[in-house]
Amino acid sequence: MKRMSIPEVLKSLEGKSQEEKIQILRFNESKALKQILFLAFSKDVKFNLPETRPGDFKLQEVPEGLSTSNLYRQARKMRIFVKGYGYVSVGT
């Protein structure tokens, strides 16, 4: 069976009971998924991101699963954007 992407795992939780959610998360457990959930729901994490999207930033509309990258690969880089852990900008 093909491993589900992190967005697919999260979508599969919709409308499920707490026990079903726990079972799905345990079956699809990975370091990347744990890290993303921690960053998303931890009250102690503050992101070092601008308030507005850069003007030259363009979203790519790519069908799920066909992107050149995915959250499993990019999750370890997320710390770059966490205040106190990533790159430090001048004046912060």
Contact 25, 6 (CB under 8 A): no
Residue 67 CB partners (closer than 8 Å, separation 6+): 60
Contact 81, 48 (CB under 8 A): yes
Residue 88: what pLDDT?
60
pLDDT in tens, the chain (92 residues): 678 888 899 999 999 999 999 999 999 999 999 999 999 999 998 888 888 888 887 777 877 666 667 788 888 888 888 888 766 655 54
- Predicted model pTM: 0.72
Contact 39, 78 (CB under 8 A): yes
